[in-house]
């Protein structure tokens, strides 16, 4: 007897990647020799100790269980079930999570997988950290790799696509996802970690991770990595290395207040900015801008910040804060003005707020170079397809970035954060 | 974890958040007014360096709002240019850090003059070279060669080599630095990084020489070996290289 387990979030190499969002899988008796009709099959977790875990249900829900019984017909007809990563139980490596099919206590089918989740950078295992850095180093390839397109996207001439206007959060969500998919093309087990900038994160600035400059500022702000470090040959804009000097003691977090002004305000203070998007978007200045300017170096300038890998982890935290705000306030329906609105936008400098309306496609993935879009060749092409999810498609819109978990029934964007669950809203019955 | 239970836990925290947010720092004025005041602080040479650096941090965060900051940009840059000549080195460093990344020619010129000894010394040589190396501006190469020739300070020599990594004519020089066992290893590493990025083919040749040299240092082998490995090169020779004592 053999049970075949099929899950759509599976790539061409037969590797399955889940997030917290449930996907519809199926199980069938591929070999019914000796089987009753129907046969009672139990699906259960069977991964490594300490590995990721999944939750099952017979319907799309946020209340899955560690086990699920299915009645499988002997004629091989597939029976559907729903499966998701169990919240707070992510994987650390591919295959540390597994679904096992059991009949009368005997294993009759198995599928290994990964609950691939974006994690707090300081909580990564050494192996997770090193896989991330190695993929990043390869993406940069000493200045010759695809990372150049990312660096050339976040530049002064593209400022209005992404900053100071309503699509600041959606645009950066797309930008991060684009990078993450490129990293996953190098190593599918990598998820983009985030820098929780309102908490101490000395491990992030340890030599084996993102490093620190010499203690003596007279020696310059260049980070000297250990010999053989994956970022040792990092190069952008024709210049070697990464420059960054914190303006705060990295044993702690950046200050919440500087000179009597709000600086890198806490997560709680950020989430308390308001329950409407127009209020929450004030986070673009504080904590976002203030987190950038907690350092000397390119990270503190809008046109240069993407030279520094820290940029992507800083912005992963910005995106996580948005995701968290969305979950706390159930702000996933784009039709709800509290979820997304143009309120508070500057009048004048951006005709029609092009690129910031829900239905607008976003540069550079739309390939446009007619003003007010940047007029140079877009540094990135069409948005990369995922091996495991169907969204957002080649030319993402602002709307595409909002319901990233597919709460309202669409496919997910294929990422989740370790402390932001998937939860159906009351009234959503998809 | 049960998501409903998680929400209950979070909502319990949310109830406490009312007091948190009441205690949290909040902006009491429109940012435009705050920026105007910060420019005045930055321009006030009688204000403390700490206050003026805080003003730079605040104004620089404002630049992340793009168009909203535009009306203040010119005054901000003018205040930064004045600050690079201040007596306080931390303030000079903060101001130069911003201006160089803005591509400000005035700041670059002052840094170059400082390194040539024909103007006020704005920053120590290593820090000044580091700022000049932030883009591939060819004018920095000449001064970097001079500094390299005249300095025995390791960070300064390493920074000079880094600047030369943007000079297409410097490949031979960088190759010599990378393979010179009498050179400081941090400088050799800077040479290796610069050469790998400037002339990958020459780098591979020179890296192979290092990996074949059983008297060379383990850490410089790790640097060049790591680069080759990431480039997909076989490294059997590196793995069999003998450990070396690290004395320089």
Question: B21: pLDDT confidence band, cut at 50, 70 and 90?
Answer: low
Arithmetic mean of pLDDT, B39-59? 97
Arithmetic mean of pLDDT, A325-330? 96
> How large a percentage of chain B has pLDDT more than 90?
72
Q: Is the pLDDT of residue B238 over 70?
A: no
Nearest-CA distance B132 → chain A (Å): 10
* pLDDT averaged over every residue in chain B: 87
Interface test with A, best of B5, B48, B65 (most A CBs within 10 A): B65
Structure token pair of residue B179: 């393979």
User: Which residues in chain B are closer than 8 Å to A141, comparing Cβ atoms?
Assistant: 230-231
Structure token pair of residue A187: 């190593």
pLDDT in tens, B124-135: 999 999 998 886
- A243 and chain B: CB distance < 8 Å anywhere? yes
- B73 and chain A: CB distance < 8 Å anywhere? no
pLDDT at B119: 85
- Most confident option among A23-32, A235-244, B190-199: A23-32
Pick from B34, B53, B162: which is nearest to A222 by CB?
Answer: B162
| Cα gap A76→B234, rounded to integer Å | 49
The residues near A330 (Cβ < 8 Å, ≥ 6 apart) are A425
pLDDT at A37: 94
Strands (DSSP E) contained in A87-167 are 97-103, 106-115
The residues near A230 (Cβ < 8 Å, ≥ 6 apart) are A130, A133, A134, A136, A137, B226, B230
Model pTM above 0.80 = yes
> Could you report the predicted ipTM of this complex, rounded to two decimals?
0.92
At residue B75, what are phi and psi to the nearest 5 degrees? -65, -35
Question: B243: pLDDT confidence band, cut at 50, 70 and 90?
Answer: very low
Nearest-CA distance B118 → chain A (Å): 20
pLDDT at B237: 39
Instruction: Show which of residues 5-24 on chain B sit within 8 Å of chain A, judged by CB atoms.
Output: 6-7, 10, 13-14, 17, 20-21, 24
How big is the CA angle at B93 (ends B92 and B95), to the nearest 5 degrees? 65
Q: Is the pLDDT of residue A159 over 50?
A: yes
- B133 and chain A: CB distance < 8 Å anywhere? yes
Q: Is the pLDDT of residue A108 over 60?
A: yes
Question: A102: pLDDT confidence band, cut at 50, 70 and 90?
Answer: very high
Tell me if B159 and A240 make a contact (CB, 8 A cut-off).
Answer: no
Q: Is the pLDDT of residue A416 over 80?
A: yes
Tell me if B97 and A300 make a contact (CB, 8 A cut-off).
Answer: yes
Arithmetic mean of pLDDT, A213-223? 94
Structure token pair of residue A401: 């970035």
Q: Is the pLDDT of residue A279 over 60?
A: yes
> How large a percentage of chain A has pLDDT more than 70?
99
Q: Is the pLDDT of residue B242 over 70?
A: no
pLDDT at A264: 95
Tell me if B61 and A227 make a contact (CB, 8 A cut-off).
Answer: no
Q: Are A163 and A87 in contact (CB under 8 A)?
A: no
Pick from B1, B2, B135: which is nearest to A239 by CB?
Answer: B135
User: Which residues in chain B are closer than 8 Å to A160, comparing Cβ atoms?
Assistant: 66-67
Arithmetic mean of pLDDT, B202-228? 92
> B200-212 vs B171-179: helix axis angle to the nearest 10?
20
**DSSP track, chain B:** --HHHHHHHHHHHHHHHHHHHHHS----S-HHHHHHHHHHHHH-TTS-HHHHHHHHHHHHHHHTTGGGGHHHHHHHHHHHHHHTTSS-HHHHHHHHHHHHHTT-HHHHHHHHHHHHTSS---S-HHHHHHHHTTS--THHHHHHHHHHHH---HHHHHHHHHHHTT-GGGHHHHHHHHH-TTS-HHHHHHHHHHHHHH-HHHHHHHHHHHHH-TTS-HHHHHHHHHHHHHTT---HHHHTSPP-----
Tell me if B227 and A233 make a contact (CB, 8 A cut-off).
Answer: yes
Nearest to B241 by CA among B215, B203, B223: B215
Nearest-CA distance A246 → chain B (Å): 12
Nearest-CA distance B182 → chain A (Å): 18
The residues near B76 (Cβ < 8 Å, ≥ 6 apart) are B35, B39, B42, B59, B63
- A66 and chain B: CB distance < 8 Å anywhere? no
pLDDT in tens, A236-272: 988 889 999 999 999 999 999 988 889 999 999 999 9
pLDDT at A403: 98
- A397 and chain B: CB distance < 8 Å anywhere? no
Question: A414: pLDDT confidence band, cut at 50, 70 and 90?
Answer: very high
Question: What is the SS3 assignment for A233?
Answer: coil
Tell me if A262 and B60 make a contact (CB, 8 A cut-off).
Answer: no
CA distances from A290 to A15, A264, A314 (A): 40, 5, 11
Distance between the two ends of chain A, CA-based, in angstroms? 35
Pairing type for strands A245-246 and A295-296 reads antiparallel
- B181 and chain A: CB distance < 8 Å anywhere? no
Question: B25: pLDDT confidence band, cut at 50, 70 and 90?
Answer: low
Q: Is the pLDDT of residue B235 over 50?
A: no
Structure token pair of residue A29: 């008796």
| Cα gap B109→B101, rounded to integer Å | 14
Arithmetic mean of pLDDT, A419-423? 97
| Cα gap A254→A290, rounded to integer Å | 9
User: Which residues in chain A are closer than 8 Å to B10, comparing Cβ atoms?
Assistant: 328
* pLDDT averaged over every residue in chain A: 95
Question: B14: pLDDT confidence band, cut at 50, 70 and 90?
Answer: confident
Q: Is the pLDDT of residue B247 over 60?
A: no
Tell me if A227 and B60 make a contact (CB, 8 A cut-off).
Answer: no
Interface test with B, best of A20, A131, A152, A220 (most B CBs within 10 A): A220
Q: Is the pLDDT of residue A339 over 90?
A: yes
Question: B137: pLDDT confidence band, cut at 50, 70 and 90?
Answer: low
| Cα gap A83→B239, rounded to integer Å | 45
Range of weakest confidence among A128-132, A227-231, B14-18: B14-18
Tell me if A268 and B2 make a contact (CB, 8 A cut-off).
Answer: no
Arithmetic mean of pLDDT, B118-146? 86
Question: What is the SS3 assignment for A121?
Answer: helix
Report the length, in residues, of chain B: 248
pLDDT at B234: 36
Q: Is the pLDDT of residue A59 over 80?
A: yes
pLDDT in tens, A171-215: 999 999 999 999 999 999 999 999 999 999 999 999 999 999 999
Arithmetic mean of pLDDT, A80-98? 98
């Amino acid at each position: 007897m053999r049970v075949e387990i099929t899950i759509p979030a599976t790539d061409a190499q037969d590797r399955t990647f889940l997030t917290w969002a449930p996907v519809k899988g199926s199980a069938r008796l591929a070999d019914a020799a000796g089987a009753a009709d129907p046969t009672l099959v139990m699906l259960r977790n069977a991964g490594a100790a300490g590995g990721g875990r999944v939750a099952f249900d017979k319907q799309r829900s946020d209340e899955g269980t560690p086990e699920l019984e299915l009645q499988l017909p002997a004629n091989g007809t597939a029976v559907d079930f729903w499966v998701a990563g169990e919240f707070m139980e992510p994987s650390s490596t591919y295959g540390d999570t597994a679904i096992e099919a059991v009949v009368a206590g005997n294993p009759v089918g198995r599928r290994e997988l990964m609950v691939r989740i974006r994690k707090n950078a300081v909580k990564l295992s050494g192996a997770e950290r090193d896989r991330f850095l190695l993929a990043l180093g390869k993406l940069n390839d000493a200045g010759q790799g695809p990372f150049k397109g990312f660096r050339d996207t976040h530049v002064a001439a593209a400022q209005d696509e992404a900053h100071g206007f309503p699509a600041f959060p959606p645009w950066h969500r797309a930008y991060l996802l684009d990078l993450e998919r490129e990293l996953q093309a190098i190593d599918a087990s990598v998820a983009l970690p985030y820098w929780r900038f309102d908490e101490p994160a000395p491990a992030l600035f340890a030599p084996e991770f993102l490093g620190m400059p010499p203690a003596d500022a007279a020696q310059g702000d260049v980070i000297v990595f250990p010999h053989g470090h994956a970022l040792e040959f990092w190069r952008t804009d024709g210049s070697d290395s990464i420059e960054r000097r914190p303006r705060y003691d990295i044993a702690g977090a950046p200050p919440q207040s500087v000179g009597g002004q709000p600086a890198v305000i806490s997560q709680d203070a950020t989430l308390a900015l308001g329950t409407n998007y127009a209020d929450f978007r004030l986070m673009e200045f504080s904590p976002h801008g203030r987190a950038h300017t907690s350092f000397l170096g390119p990270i503190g300038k809008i046109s240069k910040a993407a030279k520094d890998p820290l940029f992507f982890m800083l912005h992963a935290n910005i995106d996580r804060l948005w995701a968290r705000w969305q979950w706390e306030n159930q702000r996933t329906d784009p039709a709800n003005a509290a979820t997304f609105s143009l309120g508070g936008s500057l009048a004048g400098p951006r005709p029609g707020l092009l690129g910031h309306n829900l239905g607008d496609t976003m540069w550079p993935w739309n390939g446009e170079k007619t003003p007010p879009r940047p007029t140079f060749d877009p540094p990135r092409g069409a948005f990369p397809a995922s091996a495991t999810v169907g969204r957002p498609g080649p030319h993402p819109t602002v709307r595409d970035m909002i319901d990233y978990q597919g709460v309202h029934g669409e496919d997910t964007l294929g990422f989740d954060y370790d402390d932001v669950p998937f939860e159906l809203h009351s009234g959503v019955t998809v | 974890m049960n998501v409903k239970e998680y929400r209950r836990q979070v909502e319990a925290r949310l109830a406490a958040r009312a007091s948190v947010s009441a205690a949290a720092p909040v902006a009491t004025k429109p940012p435009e007014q705050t920026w105007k005041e910060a420019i005045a602080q930055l321009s006030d040479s009688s204000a403390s360096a700490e206050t003026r650096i805080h003003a730079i941090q605040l104004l620089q965060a404002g630049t992340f709002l793009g168009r909203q900051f535009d009306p203040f940009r010119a005054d901000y840059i003018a205040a930064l240019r004045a600050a690079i000549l201040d007596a306080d080195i931390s303030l000079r460093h903060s101001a130069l850090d911003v201006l160089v990344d803005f591509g400000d020619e005035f700041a670059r010129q002052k840094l170059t003059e400082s390194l040539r000894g024909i103007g006020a010394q704005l920053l120590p040589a290593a820090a000044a070279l580091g700022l000049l190396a932030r883009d591939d501006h060819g004018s920095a190469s000449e001064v970097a060669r001079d500094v390299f020739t005249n300095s025995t300070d390791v960070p300064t020599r390493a920074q000079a080599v880094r600047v030369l990594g943007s000079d297409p004519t410097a490949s031979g020089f960088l190759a010599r630095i990378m393979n010179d066992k009498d050179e400081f290893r941090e400088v050799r590493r800077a040479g290796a990084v610069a050469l790998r990025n400037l002339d990958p083919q020459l780098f591979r040749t020179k890296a192979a020489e290092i990996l074949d040299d059983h008297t060379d240092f383990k850490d410089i082998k790790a640097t060049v070996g790591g680069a080759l490995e990431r480039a997909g090169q076989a490294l059997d020779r590196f793995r069999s290289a003998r450990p070396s004592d690290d004395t320089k």
